[in-house]
Structure 1
Amino acid sequence: MSQYPPLTEKEFELVEAYNTILNGPFEDKYEDKWEDEPFDIALKEFQARVQEIGFSNPFEFLARYNIDSYETMRAQFKKGPALCFRPGWKSPLIGESINIEAVLSKCHYVSGPLLDTRCRVVVIDFWAKWCDPCVQAGPGLSDLADEFKDRIAIIGIHNDNIFSSTNEYNIEELNDFLEENQDGFRYTIYIDNEEGFARDNVYNPGGYRGIPCILLVVDGVVKYVGSPQESFRPTLMQELETIEAGRAREE
């Protein structure tokens, strides 16, 4: 479920033009790598393509991506992505301790198995039902929960207002969503509380400014913060292997 309707054919063409002409060539040309002249040339090409597609004002659509003018577009590319999306970024939470039970005690349980406190490996998934990548990540996390049953616990913490300071929430709406998407969310789901406790005390300090946002916690210590599509699984496998090696030595 997205907060916007599906893209029309014209909107899809506009996004494709933006990605091909601007985003692809300039996404890594920020700060000291920035040059105005190549961008000006590409911008003229993009403007011509916008007219071909039939948009009189593309910013009526692009506003959903916080782009309201060509100058805003230039400024965003020149500034570059947030630090958490740049190569080599490391969350300030890595190596820090987190009391998962205390966090969950502030949230509202919605569905799935309760946390087994004996579980040494816990995966926390911050997500929102309007976020398409979050919904797309659900089946993969569900499969992971099935694959490593009894070895890891996966807990989704839902917050529709993850990027704001408010936290209006509706458990009934979330229940309806989960009922419609049972196969995609077979792991434990909580919803953040009225004050956004999990958001303010775990998600925000982690420094990752996107969702879905995964935290891998092993023996109460944070080992990974970021996207489930990046180095999450290799990190998880390494931690599981370390645990198994430790058990073998004990035997």
Structure 2
Amino acid sequence: MAETSIDAPTKEQETLFKKACESILFTPFQDKYEDKWEEDSYWAAVETFKARATEIGIEDHEAFLKRSYGMNFEGIRGFLISGPPLFMRKEWKSPLTGAKVDAHQILAPLTHVHGSKFSGEERVVALDFWATWCSPCVEDAPKISGLVEKYAGRVAIVGINNEGIFSKKSLDVEKIKTFLDERKTDFRYTIYVDNEEGHAKTNLFSKVGFTAVPCVVVLADGVVTYAGGAGDNLETELQNALELTTAKEE
């Protein structure tokens, strides 16, 4: 492939360069942080990456790295050694695990906007923090709706919307209602909106230690069995909580 200046890479070259960077420099070392770091392996990977970048047609490797990621090879090394935030690590567990949480107390000052109101009859409750601007949150809605229907009578899943969970964004309940009305087929479960003071955010979300949304807190008879990211493991966490309540009956 013909050599191309750093100032004028083709779109294809830029895409291939970034894919090479992710597959050669980032992905193999994402679990090698801190005392697991492999210095020689990283620099060997750098040489492999340089060769691949040259094949793509980009010779000034570090200049293009800075343009794409804001870091050179040393910068990427430092980023990888530091590792991901604690709450994103496989071994992380929320400090809230094992604590007692009153779902009624959390939801009482909030505004009910969608689905049936929370009754508290189910022994397993999942409180799911989300926002309309959060793409993963919105994408998870059909899956959550499916779980609500699958575990009806056994599990209550309650969405807690807070548009300003990481900012001071003003509250607009009507706008959120409209958002949900337009997506009724996806959002088929109970949803409340946090109040102006951020009651649910202050009294629950801020204690989880997971600084991202969606964030779910699973309760079994009022005790936190899991608090953290939702994702694909939500059903597993619900099943674990159900098993705990079943064990108490035996």
Normalising to structure 1: TM-score of the pair?
A: 0.77
1:140 aligns with 2:147: no
State the one-letter code of the partner of 1:216: V
Which one has a bigger Cα radius of gyration?
2
Q: CA deviation at 1:131?
A: 1.9
Q: CA deviation at 1:100?
A: 1.4
Q: CA deviation at 1:106?
A: 2.8
Q: CA deviation at 1:217?
A: 0.9
When the two chains are superposed, the root-mean-square deviation of aligned CA atoms in Å is 3.2
Name 2:158's counterpart in structure 1.
155
Name 1:19's counterpart in structure 2.
22
Check 1:16–1:169 CA distance in 2 against 1; reply closer, same or farther (3 A cut).
Answer: farther
Query: In structure 2, how many angstroms separate the alpha carbons of the residues matched to 1:48 and 1:119?
Result: 59
Q: CA deviation at 1:218?
A: 1.7
Q: CA deviation at 1:155?
A: 0.6
Name 1:110's counterpart in structure 2.
113
Query: In structure 2, how many angstroms separate the alpha carbons of the residues matched to 1:214 and 1:192?
Result: 15
Query: In structure 1, how many angstroms separate the alpha carbons of the residues matched to 2:105 and 2:203?
Result: 11
Q: Is the 2:125–2:156 Cα contact (8 Å) retained in structure 1?
A: yes
Q: Is the 1:167–1:194 Cα contact (8 Å) retained in structure 2?
A: no
State the one-letter code of the partner of 2:144: L
Cα deviation code 1:141-190 (max 9, x no counterpart): 1001111112221111122333x353433323322322232222111112
1:226 aligns with 2:228: yes
Structure 1 portions without partners, runs of 5+: 1-7, 63-67
Query: In structure 2, how many angstroms separate the alpha carbons of the residues matched to 1:110 and 1:98?
Result: 22
Identity %: 37
Name 1:78's counterpart in structure 2.
81
Cα deviation code 1:178-236 (max 9, x no counterpart): 22322221111122222322222211211123321111112211111123335432332
Check 1:43–1:152 CA distance in 2 against 1; reply closer, same or farther (3 A cut).
Answer: same
Q: CA deviation at 1:42?
A: 4.0
Question: SS of the counterpart of 1:184?
Answer: coil
Normalising to structure 2: TM-score of the pair?
A: 0.77
Deviates more, 1:91-100 or 1:178-187: 178-187
State the one-letter code of the partner of 1:27: Q
Q: CA deviation at 1:40?
A: 4.5
State the aligned residue count. 235
Q: Is the 1:226–1:232 Cα contact (8 Å) retained in structure 2?
A: no
Check 1:211–1:183 CA distance in 2 against 1; reply closer, same or farther (3 A cut).
Answer: same
Q: CA deviation at 1:18?
A: 4.2
Query: In structure 1, how many angstroms separate the alpha carbons of the residues matched to 2:132 and 2:157?
Result: 17
Name 1:4's counterpart in structure 2.
none
Cα deviation code 1:46-105 (max 9, x no counterpart): 67877959998676775xxxxx43365443311101222223222111111112112112
Q: Is the 1:50–1:58 Cα contact (8 Å) retained in structure 2?
A: no
State the one-letter code of the partner of 2:111: H
1:128 aligns with 2:114: no
Q: Is the 1:27–1:80 Cα contact (8 Å) retained in structure 2?
A: yes
State the one-letter code of the partner of 1:209: T
Deviates more, 1:232-241 or 1:84-93: 232-241
Q: CA deviation at 1:242?
A: 4.4
Name 2:186's counterpart in structure 1.
184
